[in-house]
Amino acid sequence: MLWLAALALGACTGRPDPEAHDSFYLIDGRFHTPDQPQKGVTDLLRWRFTREPGDWERDLTPPPPRTLPERVADDTFKVTFINHATVLVQTGGRNILTDPIWSDRASPVQWAGPLRYRAPGLRFEDLPPIDAVVISHNHYDHLDTLTVHRLEQEHAPHFIVPLNNKRHLPGVEEERVTELDWWETAMLDGELRVRALPARHWSRRGLADQNRSFWSGFGVEHDQGWVFFAGDTGYGDHFLRIRARLGTPDLALLPIGAYKPRWFMKENHLSPEDALQARDDLGKPPMLAIHFGTFDLGDDGQTEPVDNLRMARRERGLDEESVWIGDHGESRLFLFQPAPCSESEDASH
Ligand code: ZN
Ligand code: ZN
């Protein structure tokens, strides 16, 4: 039986200090963080009128039918990059989906708004049973109501979201939604826990609700190790803070797309170079690049983030195992490699 509760448990490598406030403060009901992105409506308009968009080509060829293992247990974890920020993580006998979107548009309506350019790399009907869904924030390319409804009907998973996002999940049974502040955890069946983690981002879904819902990354923590999902984020010192408290993850899912123009995007989105710096800050775990090639959300073209990441990977002498640029739908199996507890002490900053 799956159960959830917000707990303040620490990993062996660093027990979060409940006294150490590393999260939001509220002003007039809106979430703020010390490294808050400062771009506003004027900047948005300036970008809209000076755009130099890259090239995109639409190809919605569906992937072939597939059968994934129903469960993956113990000291391994299987990761399937579906596309954009949607990733399936299978471990500890549980299946967890990040920021699921199968819709044709990342938008409140399906007749306008950012269009999908690549089909999801796994057909929805080929998903194994989904136990938990983590959603990093309420932007439409991450919190897609149509997909949430479909998951609710066909899988009835637990939804784990940052604070004040429950209101964006109408039709989901309330007892299966857990809202977390940064560093808080939800237990999955006593074996796995999901922890909300800092991200440098913002939120908005309607005209007047900017930053009224919180945002986060997530850790999926197993006794043997953990997987880090960064959500949407700009570069900041939070990657160092995460490593200092939790140690180096066994895999980091890091966004690389929608990073241009830099003057507008850099506080909110990692560039490929930023992602490699974030990986260094996290202690150089293997990384999977996400958030590219699916929705046209910045001025970078469809292949530009991946082309630049390949170049940066080569310049740093990194291989394809260390920096995984997955095909849409590609899966890999990893082994947890427990680090000695002392390692995180070296990582403290
Ligand atoms: Zn976002
Ligand atoms: Zn996004």
Which ligand lies nearest to the CA atom of residue 297 in the structure?
2
Pairwise CA distance, residues 129 & 108, whole Å = 27
Each residue's pLDDT tens digit, 129-160 = 999 999 999 999 999 999 999 999 999 999 99
45 located within any domain? no
Chain centroid, CA 22 distance in Å? 19
Is 331 a domain residue? no
349 in any annotated domain: no
Whether 332 is in a domain gets the answer: no
Average pLDDT value for residue range 161-174 = 96
CATH value at residue 134: 3.60.15.10
Residue 8 pLDDT: 36
CA 157 to centroid of ligand 1, rounded, Å: 23
| Ligand whose nearest atom lies closest to the CA of 259 | 2
d(CA 257, ligand 1 centre) in Å: 11
Give per-residue pLDDT as tens, 332-347.
Answer: 999 998 665 544 434 3
- pLDDT (mean) for 225-244: 97
Please check whether residue 37 lies inside any domain of the structure: no
Ligand that comes closest to the CA of residue 296: 2
User: Would you say residue 205 lies in a domain?
Assistant: yes
Share of the chain above pLDDT 70, in %: 91
Going from the Cα of 11 to the center of ligand 2, the distance in angstroms, rounded, reads 28
19 band by pLDDT with thresholds 50, 70 and 90: low
Q: Report the alpha-carbon distance of residue 43 to residue 201 in Å, rounded.
A: 16
Neighbours of 105 (CB within 10 A): 19
Q: How many structural domains compose the chain?
A: 1
Mean pLDDT (whole number) for 221-238: 96
pLDDT (tens digit per residue) in 66-87: 999 999 987 899 999 999 999 9
Distance 137 CA to ligand 1 centre (A): 7
Confidence of residue 41 (pLDDT cuts 50, 70, 90): confident
Kindly state whether residue 29 falls inside one of the protein's structural domains.
Answer: no
Range of the structural domain that residue 193 is part of: 2-12+60-325
Compute the average pLDDT of residues 258-268.
Answer: 95
Per-residue pLDDT, 40:
82
- Write out pLDDT tens, residues 181-201: 999 999 998 789 999 999 999
How far is Cα 242 from Cα 226, in angstroms, rounded to an integer? 12
Judging by beta carbons within 10 Å of its beta carbon (0-12, 13-18, 19+), is residue 262 exposed, middle or buried?
middle
Which pLDDT belongs to residue 38?
Answer: 84
20 in any annotated domain: no
Which ligand ends up closest to the CA of 292? Answer: 2
Radius of gyration of the CA atoms of the chain, in A = 19
Residues with C-beta atoms within 5 A of ion ligand 2? 141, 232
| Mean pLDDT, residues 311-333 taken together | 97
For 163-175, letters b (16+ CB in 10 Å) and e give bbbeebbeebeee
Cα–Cα distance between 119 and 123 in angstroms, integer?
A: 9
